[in-house]
Amino acid sequence: MTVIRNILLETGYTWHDSGQVSTDTSLFTITSENDLIIAITPQEGMVAATQDEQDGRGLLAIPPTAEYHVHLDKGHFGGPWEAVVPVAGGTQGRIAEEQGFLEEYLEYLPDRAAALMEYMGSFGTTFMRIQVNVDPVIGLQNYEIVNEVLHAHASRMSGELVAFPQHGTLATESQGLLTQALEAGAPILGALDPASIDGDIEASLTTTFNLASSFDREIDIHLHDGGETGIYTIQRIIDYTCDYEMRGRVAISHAFALGQTDDQTVASLAAGLAEQDIPIFTTQPLWHAASMGARAVPWRILADAGVRVQVTTDTINDHWSPFGSGDLLKHASRTAEIWWQVDEISLATTYQMVSNGVLPLSSSGEMLWPMIGDEATMILTDASCLSEAVARVPKERTMIIRGQMDSAPLARRPLNSSGKIRAMRLPV
């Protein structure tokens, strides 16, 4: 049994006559056993923790973050700094670029995947859906290596791997590699751009859905294709999900086309996505507005229709993009800023897009988290309430993982320029 004193929890909202809303909080002691919370006891102010107890120092507890789309298997992070090399040809150009370095990169992969996993964990992420290349250049090697890294970090990170055919579903499966990845146990089958990469929407989706349904696995389709093609592909994914009776087992990543069309089209697709329980995993990219005249995926229309939207990282300093903070709280903050979610409740509810839907309070102020029986895993941060944390993105992140205060927090820095030192542990 572990006892943690002095944890600040949100207890409700107060609506003032001025129109302002404030978040109510109070100090609690949280007791856990076998990883789960068994008691949440109110305190009268701060109390001294005994030697056998842990001290939350009055910090605010917020739910851990969950990452639903990240690549750990071809980045520069964890090695020497490298910016992006300009290449022509969009996604196809980047694919040709990586075909040239994937084999050479295998040597660095274990350390760099671990560095990224630890870096993101240091900000409060405890779950990752990890995209791993399965392709004709490296076969299943990235899958096998990243799987080992994930297992080695099981004490602080849970996750699931997506066998992702970055070089195309049809090209990859023509060598039987996706079948091999599923035989090796990959829980999710990836796919990308059935039109522009595979050149045949129906053949691509048929291959993906046949494979996934025969192995009883989930699907995650990366859809960069925009405009009419992207909209049509989303509709076909909804149709296939229905036809193959895979409701709740198919996801679409990026779905850039939803940011390039009118609200009415988004709303009509949203109804189909909600009906088939297809979530959208979006990075809420800033560069779309500047360079494509488009907007980020309008998540509010989707969410209002009942579609689950998760804001994700995708890449951190790799050959596609030099950006990416690894901090999902910061990503929630950016999303709130893009869509001008500035009042107390809107700021706080934006956080559900990085916490797998978990929020401390409902919009009407009812306490939702943490509850007795929940896993005793949380982020302690230096804020008076979640809306302040989303707006100000405090640096402080002390992790409680399955009832244990993290005694050796991970330092937030990548490898040094020799490329040999992994994310360092701070002196205790």
CB 204 within 8 A of CB 229: no
Whether the CA torsion 388, 3, 408, 149 is positive or negative: it is: negative
SS3 of 419, please? Answer: coil
Give the distance from CA 84 to its chain's centroid. 23
Least separation in angstroms between residue 70's CB and Zn ion is: 8
Least separation in angstroms between residue 320's CB and Zn ion is: 8
Phi, psi of 280 (to 5 degrees): -115, 125
66 vs 386, which CB is nearer to Zn ion?
66
Residues 6 or more apart whose Cβ sits within 8 Å of residue 344: 13, 20, 21, 22, 23, 385, 387
Residues that bind Zn ion (CB under 5 A): 314
7 vs 178, which CB is nearer to Zn ion?
178
Other Cβ atoms less than 10 A from the Cβ of 396: the count is: 13
- CA-to-CA dists, residue 319 to 224, 272, 287, 391, angstroms: 17, 35, 16, 30
Other Cβ atoms less than 10 A from the Cβ of 52: the count is: 8
Least separation in angstroms between residue 59's CB and Zn ion is: 33
218 vs 314, which CB is nearer to Zn ion?
314
Least separation in angstroms between residue 403's CB and Zn ion is: 34
Nearest residue to Zn ion on Cβ basis:
314
Whether the CA torsion 383, 388, 394, 398 is positive or negative: it is: positive
224 vs 422, which CB is nearer to Zn ion?
224
Least separation in angstroms between residue 224's CB and Zn ion is: 9
Least separation in angstroms between residue 314's CB and Zn ion is: 5
319 vs 397, which CB is nearer to Zn ion?
319
314 vs 327, which CB is nearer to Zn ion?
314
